[in-house]
Structure 1
Amino acid sequence: MSFQALVTEKSDRGDITSGVQTLDDARLPDGNVTVAVDWSGLNYKDGLCLTGGGGLVRSYPHVGGIDAAGRVLDSTDPRYVPGDEVILTGWRVGETRWGGFAQKLRLDADWLVPLPANFSTRTAMVLGTAGLTAMLAIDRLEANGLVPGQGEVLVTGAGGGIGSIAIHLLHRLGYTVVAMSRRPQLADDLRRLGADSIVGRDELMAAPDKPLESARWAGVVDAVGGAVLGKVLKQVKYGGAVAAIGNAGGIELAISVLPFILRGVAVLGIDSVTQPYATRLAAWNRLADLFDATLFEPSVTEIALSQLPQAGLDILAGRVRGRTLVNLRKS
């Protein structure tokens, strides 16, 4: 049986190229479940894998795609039978292992979760890793004690995938949401998703720099890291927390211990790659209850496998807005 995949190769000179190839099942990696992929999604990390950036891909030829959703074709694991619809995110699939930019995928059953009953595989990929990460961040903040009515919840990097979904989910849960973005042209879209107010990055960073600043935020979902994370930690209310989910603004953190020992502020690191099965399943089921896909549809673009190489360049260059879905039912 043959299928199509976007295969990324590295020449002897070190050039990285990607193109659609027809493969047979013998090329599939080892695993106990084979999935017919309906949809995948384009993420920043996928752009890196398609261009050789970040050293994420260890060997070539390679099939990228860190997200996938589809139907089980065969399984030797009792948890899945042919026809079951499933979601894949994480576990370094698409990086160190062949991923979802193919019409077929073979992998370990432990990496899958069942598709929620009221979700389509397409809706699952509108969310993808970004949606799962946003839900995990909110789950951790609430486990730390965050409840609606305690005050404003800040989402930094609000124009990105995780940030925009976090705004929507927090709004659906009844929180007062402040969106931080350096792109003022996104203000109307962020309000449509549920932001109660917008703050610019420069405005947020303009407050005089002190070891402790005026306490404002009941909680924070931070996708930026770096100086922004250091700033907002000084502004979190007593007993509040920051869910740190990204480092777009840098990996260094310069801050005193005062927010932690005088206000009891917590930093909650959010990893979506190797979360235990039960945690991932609970997050996806909660997403199925909260997520309104119709609000995101205006920002969804569908592409075919053959369009991925250019799309990978575009996302690295900051030319991609919203969510790009890869339709594996056409090449």
Structure 2
Amino acid sequence: MFSGILIEKNETSSLAKIADLDESQLPAGDVTVRVTYSTLNYKDALAITGRGPVVRKFPMVPGIDLVGTVEDSSNPDFKVGDNVLLNGWGVGEAHWGGLAQKARVNGDWLIPMPRGFSAQQAMAIGTAGYTAMLSVLALERNGVTPDKGEVLVTGANGGVGSFAIALLAGLGYTVVASTGRLEEADYLKRLGVSEIIDRSILSGPGRPLAKERWAGAIDSVGSHTLANVCASTRYGGTVAACGLAQGMDLPASVAPFILRGVTLAGIDSVMRPRRDRIAAWDRLARDLDLSILKEITREIGLGEVVQTANHLLAGEVRGRVVVDVNR
């Protein structure tokens, strides 16, 4: 037996709670992992609270991230005792995820534990930091270099936003943060922002084209915010879109794309091929100042997950939440 967060559904709603689980309940897979740490992401919070259609079958163990040690394997790439990491691939949505003391998964979803990180540090980074790195790589591929001008990060106090700021600032970019929590200005400045703007400037309906400002942007918000970011991006700039906290709609026009040559780069972290995952984690090992993890990260146990999920959706959680599944 082992413990985990289990989401069950009745005729009218879903309910998440800590449950005692049996290994026989684990889904099919060729690698069984003894989990050490998981995380609590925005998507996990939607699943746990039932406020978003994240879970595709019930019952479900949420948790889109995990690190741990291989306990059993018939996959040729992994053997008993290997330390492994998983981000995405539908775990916590269609396949039992990391918010439990054991997980059974498809070995093709795993990568070896990246060098240079402890298990706790890898989960402090998690999908949020990995997604932020993929977004930075997209800007680089499209020629957005530090000398081109300011780069905007929306949803700046969230996990992706926090890592995006830290990575960009460390690489020499001038970073502007958009946030609805101006009281967190000191935190954002410690991460490396040069200016902070209120999210209300971008969150309402805007014009098809606005004054050019951003050389690039990383947006985790979507909806009107993303539309306004594109409208104010400079000629030839790139916007990396990686989230939908405001909404999954895009009330924009084609004007920024055909009149200014703006690139809208979609960032998928869920189904990314293994080679891209390893490349992103290699860059994180090289470019991320690990000393900021204490600034960004809060650690909780399984018993605090459900309550913290509600706080996260209420905008009351800063940065990253790491879950020690064994306490």
TM-score normalised by the chain length of structure 1: 0.92
| Secondary structure of 1:149 counterpart | helix
More displaced stretch, 155-164 vs 195-204: 195-204
Structure 2 gaps, min length 5: none
After superposition, residues 33-72 of structure 1 pair within 5 angstroms as: 33-72=31-70
**What corresponds to 1:91 in structure 2?**
89
Q: Is 2:264 the counterpart of 1:267?
A: yes
After superposition, residues 186-201 of structure 1 pair within 5 angstroms as: 186-201=184-199
1:16 deviates by 2.9
Per-residue CA deviation, residues 280-329 of structure 1 (Å, 9 max, x unaligned), is 11111111112223223144222221222222222223332232211122
Amino acid aligned to 1:302 = E
Per-residue CA deviation, residues 149-207 of structure 1 (Å, 9 max, x unaligned), is 1111111111111111100000111111111112211111111001122122244579x
More displaced stretch, 104-113 vs 49-58: 49-58
Per-residue CA deviation, residues 95-148 of structure 1 (Å, 9 max, x unaligned), is 111111111111001111111111011111111111111111111111111112
**What corresponds to 1:236 in structure 2?**
233
More displaced stretch, 41-50 vs 104-113: 41-50
Q: Is 2:244 the counterpart of 1:247?
A: yes
Amino acid aligned to 1:174 = G
Q: Is 2:126 the counterpart of 1:128?
A: yes
Q: Is 2:223 the counterpart of 1:226?
A: yes
**What corresponds to 1:291 in structure 2?**
288
Aligned-partner Cα distance in 1 for 2:223–2:78: 42
Amino acid aligned to 2:247 = G
The 3 A distance-change label for structure 1 pair 15 and 134 is same
RMSD of aligned Cα (Å): 1.9
Count, aligned residues: 327
Aligned-partner Cα distance in 1 for 2:233–2:113: 36
**What corresponds to 1:3 in structure 2?**
2
The 3 A distance-change label for structure 1 pair 119 and 225 is same
**What corresponds to 2:273 in structure 1?**
276
| Secondary structure of 2:321 counterpart | strand
Amino acid aligned to 2:99 = F
Structure 2 contact 151–173 (Cα < 8 Å) conserved: yes
After superposition, residues 144-155 of structure 1 pair within 5 angstroms as: 144-155=142-153
Amino acid aligned to 2:239 = V
Aligned-partner Cα distance in 2 for 1:288–1:173: 13
Q: 1:217 aligns with which of 214, 217, 239?
A: 214
Q: 1:323 aligns with which of 315, 320, 324?
A: 320
After superposition, residues 159-170 of structure 1 pair within 5 angstroms as: 159-170=157-168
More displaced stretch, 83-92 vs 256-265: 256-265
| Secondary structure of 1:53 counterpart | coil
The 3 A distance-change label for structure 1 pair 55 and 231 is closer
Aligned-partner Cα distance in 1 for 2:71–2:182: 46
Aligned-partner Cα distance in 2 for 1:251–1:30: 32
Aligned-partner Cα distance in 2 for 1:205–1:27: 44
Amino acid aligned to 1:230 = A
Q: 1:310 aligns with which of 307, 310, 317?
A: 307
Aligned-partner Cα distance in 1 for 2:284–2:4: 29
Aligned-partner Cα distance in 2 for 1:205–1:101: 33
Aligned-partner Cα distance in 2 for 1:177–1:140: 16
Identity of aligned residues (%): 50
Structure 2 contact 207–228 (Cα < 8 Å) conserved: no
The 3 A distance-change label for structure 1 pair 252 and 10 is closer
The 3 A distance-change label for structure 1 pair 317 and 180 is closer
Aligned-partner Cα distance in 1 for 2:222–2:246: 5
Q: Is 2:51 the counterpart of 1:22?
A: no
Structure 1 gaps, min length 5: none
| Secondary structure of 2:292 counterpart | helix
**What corresponds to 2:105 in structure 1?**
107
Amino acid aligned to 1:314 = H
Structure 2 contact 15–50 (Cα < 8 Å) conserved: no
1:209 deviates by 5.4
Q: Is 2:178 the counterpart of 1:180?
A: yes
Aligned-partner Cα distance in 1 for 2:249–2:32: 41
